[in-house]
Amino acid sequence: MKNIVALIGLTLCGLSASAQKKPAPKPKAAPATAVASSAAIAEGKAIYTQNCLSCHQADGGGVDGLNPPLIKTSYVLGEKPRIVKVVLNGLQGEDIDGEPYNNAMPSYDFLTDQQIASVLTYVRNSFGNKAAPISAAEVKAIRAANKK
């Protein structure tokens, strides 16, 4: 009986020793989140200053009743196609997050895909906003689908 207990003990020790020799599994990497490049942010800021600042203000706060804020609104932080279409088509007569704004936003479809991507990436990552960047390829696809 002592032999059986000893044999079981040795077997268990051998199993735990062999289990300890196995390398620990590598932790799964967290999914990569897209981060806006500093070049895109800098280009976007310049485009914003030239084209958007007079209506949406330097702080992105807009003008009550006239031009909507860009701070944490569903348009800015929401689905990318909607905000890209606003830049491409302009916007008039729509409430933003339940608030009416009376100024019409003109179309900025003369901007290149890269310029639109950069300015929207800037807006989506400024004024306290944190949202995924928008690429020129995404703008190009939305522009093409928008023409149909």
The position carrying tokens 């006239």 is 66
pLDDT digits (tens, 9 = 90+) for 39-62: 889 999 999 999 999 999 999 999
Cα four-point dihedral sign 97, 98, 103, 108: positive
pLDDT digits (tens, 9 = 90+) for 88-121: 999 999 999 999 999 999 999 999 999 999 999 9
Q: What is the pTM of this model?
A: 0.76
Domains present along the chain, CATH in parentheses = 38-146 (1.10.760.10)
Q: Give the integer Cα–Cα distance in Å for 62 and 133.
A: 22
Q: Give the integer Cα–Cα distance in Å for 33 and 44.
A: 20
